[in-house]
Chains A and B, each alone.
Chain A
Amino acid sequence: MTEYWQEISALTMRWVRRLSREKFSMLFTLVQPMLFWLIFFGNLFQRAADTQVTQAPNYISFLAAGVVVMTVLNNGLAGGVDLLFDKENGFLERLMSAPIRRSSVILSRFIFVMTITSLQVLVILGVASLFGVHPATGLLGVATILLIGMLFGVGLTAISMAMAFSVKSHGDFFSVLGFLSLPMIFLSSALVPLAAMPGWMSFLARFNPMTWAIDAVRPLILSGWSEALPHVAMVIPVMLAFDAICLYGGVKAFRRAMG
């Protein structure tokens, strides 16, 4: 058990070290876009968005939940990229020829992605509060938001890793990624409530796990516990089922790739 922990912590430290040496690219690719959505998109649509439709005091407070979950989405879907590069340049083989548990590499990646995502979610909530959006459910609400984010993120990261282990080249990986990410956002309640969508879009959005996550995070930010609790109670089993499916696929892809 101590050996297992030694492996996981050393591998996690590797991801942290890499991040610390790629500060700029990380800052630009991960942190900024999400803040841009919140700051620019949120303020841009302040008057265009009808508060009657969004059921929120202003558009930016409506959007905050969407941006939080979009952060989880993007980080999760990109979570397997580094393993893909490790696979391509042989580093993964080097790790796998060591007497480590096969799961250590994957677990280290989950721990890293979840930690970074949680930190980013906190930054986004912090920036949102500069625009006057304060989570109605307080610190416990913020903790719940992080929990939902992690539950959603685990499944997404598993999808990303499954792709990383299955694709032939990283070109394929990024095309699939680009193809997945935007429709997931548009076909969810991130930018517009389901009720205000064209029928076919709201129909599809209902099946999007992202919608479920947002619908739980949004009342945690906007309304308070009485409205949030039923959503939270719903989203947890839904996310657990989502994770179970994704992890099953991920493990299969990993087994196939690792002989």
Chain B
Amino acid sequence: MDRAIAIEVNRLCKDYGSHRAVADLSFQVYEGEIFGLLGPNGAGKSTTLRILITLLQPTSGNASIFGHDTVREADRVRRLIGYVPQERAIDRFLTGREHLQLLSALYHLTREDAARRINELLKLVDLEAHADRPAKTYSGGMKRKLDIACGLLPNPKILFLDEPTLGLDVQSRLRIWEYVRMLKARGMTVVMTTNYLDEADQLCDRLAIIDGGCIKALGSPTELKVALGGDIVSLTIKETDRIAGLASALANQPAIKTVRTTSNGLDIRVESPEKALPIILETANRLGCGIEFIEYHRPRLDDVFIAHTGRRITDTAEQPVE
């Protein structure tokens, strides 16, 4: 099926001095999908997002939104997009309604259109009762909802969300996910950055795993997990000094694809568990490794992440941006 392309990113690079924050990034986002940029802090997600929303100019390469170049046709692009920044970009002295009024003037809505749209949005994000209180009285979740209402005010074709649920409690998180799904159902294209694996897994139709400014993997969460091939056996070993020995003994066995050492054991990718498990247990026994805990699971998104980047997403990035 040929799908309409909403965003086209072509060999995008962004340097800060000698540090290359985004290195040769190319991908497409289809109309109507939720596309995720997944990566640890400093991976280049936010920089990429800022280029797409015209706030940064790429060092080389280009990006276009519905065919409009983000540099040469920045104003056209700005009329098509909505943006929800990562920080709580709230003026604490203004009320929720005043935020939306300000933005409706910046999007050149007439007074009547603005009033109608603002009421709709306040209802949508459930802030009607608090609309006329200064934002400094809002809770974190309420500020986030106002943020999202602000991003939706222009009724954008594409909504950009930068870490939409960072620092939110579970309930507010689920609420935000619900909004995002509803927007997709209404036909909106959503691009979001996140460093939460479960968020990417649950919410995104497709995602790009970004690390060190490069795309390491691209596809739907399911595709990515399937592509990894094989299930995962995680061992916790009592004798931590024998982990390395066990790893090398297992590495060349049939039915075992890869072996990765963790702090207290091994993550073993296996082709079929029925063949691999006896070998693993037998080898561990022979080398005198006491198995404290054994777990077997289908590949999860964090396994995908580790397989492509060589580390966990919670590990700090090597080079922080800015």
Chain A residues packing against B (C-beta within 8 Å): 3, 6-7, 9-11, 13-14, 17-18, 21-22, 86, 89-91, 93-100, 104, 258-259
Contacts and interface: CB of A to CB of B under 8 A. Distances in A.
A88 to B, nearest CB: 8
A18 B93 contact: yes
Contacts, number: 76
Interface in B102-119: 102-103, 105-108
Contacts of B108: 3, 6-7, 99
15 contacts: A3-B108, A9-B105, A10-B102, A10-B106, A11-B102, A21-B134, A93-B55, A93-B89, A94-B89, A94-B150, A97-B53, A97-B81, A98-B106, A98-B107, A259-B56
Contact of A10 (B53, B85, B101): B101
A94 B85 CA distance: 7
Contacts of A259: 50, 55-57
A93 to B, nearest CB: 5
Give the secondary structure class of A's interface.
Answer: helix
A99 B93 contact: no
B102 to A, nearest CB: 5
B107 A97 contact: no
Contacts of B93: 17-18, 21-22
A225 to B, nearest CB: 44
**Most chain-A CB neighbours within 10 Å: which of B54, B55, B87, B105?**
B105
Given A6-B108, A10-B101, 6 more contacts: A9-B105, A11-B102, A14-B94, A21-B93, A93-B85, A94-B83
Chain B interface residue bracket vs A: 20 to 34
Interface in B69-98: 75, 78-79, 81, 83, 85-91, 93-94, 98
Contacts of A89: 87-90
A166 B101 CA distance: 30
Nearest to A94: B89
Contacts of B87: 89-90
B103 A98 contact: yes
A91 B106 contact: no
A89 B107 CA distance: 21
A97 B83 contact: yes
A97 B57 CA distance: 13
Contacts of A13: 102
Contacts of A90: 85-89
A18 B89 contact: no
A27 to B, nearest CB: 15
B32 interface: no
A192 to B, nearest CB: 40
B91 A14 contact: yes
A14 B98 CA distance: 8
A13 B99 CA distance: 12
Contacts of A99: 75, 78-79, 106-108
Contacts of A11: 102, 106
A22 B90 CA distance: 16
